[in-house]
Chains A and B, each alone.
Chain A
Amino acid sequence: MNSWINLTALWQIVVVGLLAGAGLPALFAIGMVALSQKGGRVQTAGADGQDADTLVGGSVAGMIASAVCFLIVLAAIGWGIYAIYQAGHPHK
């Protein structure tokens, strides 16, 4: 342990920071891609065959996959906020 830099805290901030700060948005993006998958459920393409500009659940499998992604992201955020609340109120 260095008295000027807490290296333990530093690498944890970098690693967990990458997981939470880059990993969670990436998971969100995967959810978006899954949500915009084409499928039989609804018409995602415009009448002229162009791709739709909004996100519509085209395939059922895609919708389930995206729901799983979004739920993991939400759960991770909720857990993070709860952990901070716990740490910040030690006497409760």
Chain B
Amino acid sequence: MGNDVVLVLVVITALGFDFTNGFHDTGNAMATSIATGALGPRTAVALSGVLNLVGAFLSLSVAATIASGLVDTGLVTLTVVFAGLAGGIIWNLLTWLLGIPSSSSHALIGGVIGSTIAAAGGHAVQWHDLFSKVIIPAGLSPVIAALVAATGTWLLYRISRNMTDGARGHGFRIGQIGSASLVSLAHGTNDAQKTMGVITLALIVNHTIGATATTPFWVILSCGLAISLGTYMGGWRVIRTLGKGLVEIEAPQGMAAESASAAVILLSSHFGYSLSTTHVATGSIIGTGLGKKGAEVRWNVAGRMATAWLFTLPSAAVVGAGAYALAHAIGGDAGVIVDLVILIGIAALIYVRSRGSRVGHDNVNAEWTGSVAPAEDTVTAEPAAA
């Protein structure tokens, strides 16, 4: 048996990452439904949380890819996994503070790759697989999602053009609830598995389970619960950017966006690509802006996101490498514990900063004025009904 103290810390940190993954990504599924009023903000996050939990049990094929596909597991230690998770968490929290929907998957993969390079050198990373399974699909997926969503949006407006606005909005809001639920399910299937994969990797590295063992049930359950709880917390800052910042969304667009996202995510995981749900959802929302005549896409907001996406892998990698270097310099259990204390400190600091410009269920739909946090006077006002 390996080091069980560090193993427990790794599992806790992994579940912590899973939690940030949940609240960072609530918006992928629910932002458009909240923006159009199809679901009340709190109902939306509760529904999404439950469906994420269900989704976690649906399939286990992505977990295997993460556990063994990207780095040489023979060269990975528990400290490497821990430092990688730290990199992922810090990047997730920073982008959440800025209200940028960046990819939790890339943050996790970047963190693990960074700490692996710091520990064992570049040859421990399976670069070809990293490009063909992660980076190239990440570039293509938003474009495909945008194409599908734009087509869907055009069709929906075309088909329903003779209906009254009221009847149309009513029907598509119902459709939106269904399609957003599917995205939540897909998110649980896709993203909860990534953490399951990391915990499985840690268990294999620690020789707690054999190298060919399947993911234990308690791992599936705890990951499902952590992501579900995180989702329920509602990453309101990110929801606001996606639902209000990018495109002004009406019910038909919302339904088209969520349908496109669900289809692309589920199809890709069928082919074993652990796509970023964030990239897909953002691509879809931009697509609905392109597919509707007269709709405006705020390209400056989209550009800010795309920039953050480019930085996600390398930035998380740098943090992951730094965390490994520090833990390694101190050495042993103490090194990991010092890292953990610093990680908690940074997380607390980011949380305190976020209180200065709070976004919650009460002001998430306030008029977009160019910033994540609504202007002060709109905070107290009722959210606009329109």
Residues of A within 8 A of B (CB): 3-6, 9-10, 12-14, 16-18, 20-22, 24-26, 28-30, 32-33, 35-36, 51-55, 77, 80-81, 83-85, 87-89, 91
Contact = CB atoms under 8 A, between A and B. Distances in A.
Contacts of A35: 171
Nearest to B291: A22
Interface residues of B, number: 53
B90 interface: no
Nearest to B133: A6
Contacts of B214: 91
B58 A33 contact: no
Max chain B CB contacts within 10 Å: which of A17, A81, A85, A89? A17
B270 interface: yes
Given A13-B267, A88-B61, A89-B59, A22 B148 contact: yes
A32 B271 contact: no
A16 B148 CA distance: 10
Interface of A is mostly: helix
Interface string B138-151: 00100011011101
Nearest to B179: A25
Nearest to B156: A29
A3 B132 CA distance: 7
B162 A26 contact: no
Interface in B18-42: none
B159 A87 contact: no
B58 A17 contact: no
Contacts of A28: 175, 255
B45 to A, nearest CB: 22
B317 interface: no
Given A13-B271, A17-B264, A84-B266, A33 B159 contact: yes
B163 interface: yes
B71 to A, nearest CB: 19
